[in-house]
Amino acid sequence: MRFLVDVPAGGQLAEWLRSQGHDVLEVRDIDPRMADASIIDMGYRENRVIITLDKDFGELSVRMGMPHHGIVRLPDVTVPLRKSLLQKVLDAHAGDLEKGAIVMVSTNRVRVRRKGTT
C-alpha cells in the first residue's frame, strides 16, 4: 500500500511501514510546514493513504469535500501502541482504505467512514 505520513505521526511509524513492505513518503522530508490541504492534495495526486494524528483532515475531506485516497487518523499515543493500532487497522480495513475510506482510531475503537457514505 502507498502511504503519506504526516509529521506528527512520526518517522518511526514511517520506518515501520517501510519494513512491512509499504511504499511510504514522509511530509517531514518534503516540507515539514506543509499545510494540511496541500498534504491531502499530494496524497490524492499520488494515490497515497494519509496517516495523521490531526483531526483537521476529517474537516477538509468531509465538510470541505477535498478528494483523497484514504485517511487514517491515529491517537496521540506511544509509538509502539501507534504501530499496534495501525497494524490492526491494516489487518481489518486494508480493503476499505484501498477504496478511499477514512479510518478514525482510538485506543479502544475503530470507526470507518467508507467513500460515498455520509
pLDDT reported for residue 99: 94
Nearest residue to 67 (alpha-carbon basis) of 51, 53, 47:
47
pLDDT reported for residue 116: 67
* pTM as predicted: 0.92
pLDDT reported for residue 58: 79
Could you count the other beta carbons within 10 Å of the beta carbon of residue 91? 8
DSSP 63-96: IS----S-EEE--S--HHHHHHHHHHHHHHHHHH
| Cα–Cα distance, 97 to 118 (Å, whole number) | 16
**pLDDT, one tens digit for every residue, the chain (118 residues):** 999 999 999 999 999 999 999 999 999 999 999 999 999 999 999 999 999 999 888 788 878 888 899 999 999 999 999 999 999 999 999 999 999 999 999 989 999 998 765 5
Cell of 29: 522530508
